[in-house]
Amino acid sequence: MHGPSAPIVYSFESFDTLQDSLSKFIIRAQRDSIEKKGRFTVAISGGSLPKQLNGLIGRAGVKWDKWHVFYADERVVPLDHEDSNHKLCLDQLFSKVPIPQDQIHTIDYSLADDLENLADDYEQQLIREFASRDSARFPIFDLILLGVGPDGHTASLFPGHELLSEEDRWVAYITDSPKPPPKRITLTYPVINHASRVAFVASGANKADVLKTVLDEPNVGLPASRVRPITPGQVYWFLDDPAASQLQYTKTPFHM
């Protein structure tokens, strides 16, 4: 039995080259997934990530009708609220591309009074998408796209939080996020670590310190360091040079 593969780290000199390379990477992942399974399952988190994805708009080779999208984490706010990751993705990307609406899976905000129920409902959406196709105990996303916060959190998995040891649930909720807003749902590690590919995207010098800890000192155990998909899954880091400036970790040249 092999352990997880080491993360592959790319660093780019500008936002534009990072965005261009990320687009190529996503299109390659999409092509492979459609060839194998006829669809492309993606989970996306919030923050600066949706903006990095708008390099896909108008690009040849993107088969939007095959995309099935979930949120890696979502804030429990109405879907048209400024804090909603869905609204962010809609504004940045989904309103500009022909992706069928019923293939974008959102939280049911009408359940917001009962977060257990809301998280269960989102988990049921995942089960409906994956269970009949994959017999595995956990869904196998083709791609999960994540960011990293200054404290090393990723998705809504925060340092020291009890959710870091969740082993069963696919989707969990929290009411105490240190990053506002406090109520959120998130995919759990078992789901993230069963993905075929996880790609982190981080840019800017203000990410340099945390990236050093996440990648050079994984034993510290920051939430982003614990993302280690089981083989044959692979984790990739798409960084810009300022974000990667403190790293000892060996970078891989990007060819695609």
Return phi, psi of residue 13, to 5°: -80, -15
Smallest distance from ligand 6PG to CB 237, Å: 13
H or E stretch covering 52: helix 49-52
User: Whose Cβ is closer to ligand 6PG: residue 49's or residue 69's?
Assistant: 49
Smallest distance from ligand 6PG to CB 42, Å: 14
User: Whose Cβ is closer to ligand 6PG: residue 144's or residue 148's?
Assistant: 148
| Greatest CA separation for the chain | 48
d(CA 158, CA 247): 22
d(CA 214, CA 208): 10
Smallest distance from ligand 6PG to CB 246, Å: 17
Contact (CB, 8 A) for 163 and 223: no
Smallest distance from ligand 6PG to CB 207, Å: 7
Contact (CB, 8 A) for 196 and 144: no
Picking from 9, 41, 55, 5, the residue whose alpha carbon sits closest to that of residue 202 is 9
Smallest distance from ligand 6PG to CB 255, Å: 26
User: Whose Cβ is closer to ligand 6PG: residue 36's or residue 81's?
Assistant: 81
User: Whose Cβ is closer to ligand 6PG: residue 7's or residue 47's?
Assistant: 47
Residues that bind ligand 6PG (CB under 6 A): 45-49, 73, 85, 147-149, 153-155, 179
Supply 124's token pair.
């049921």
User: Whose Cβ is closer to ligand 6PG: residue 49's or residue 107's?
Assistant: 49
Q: Which residue is nearest to ligand 6PG (CB)?
A: 47
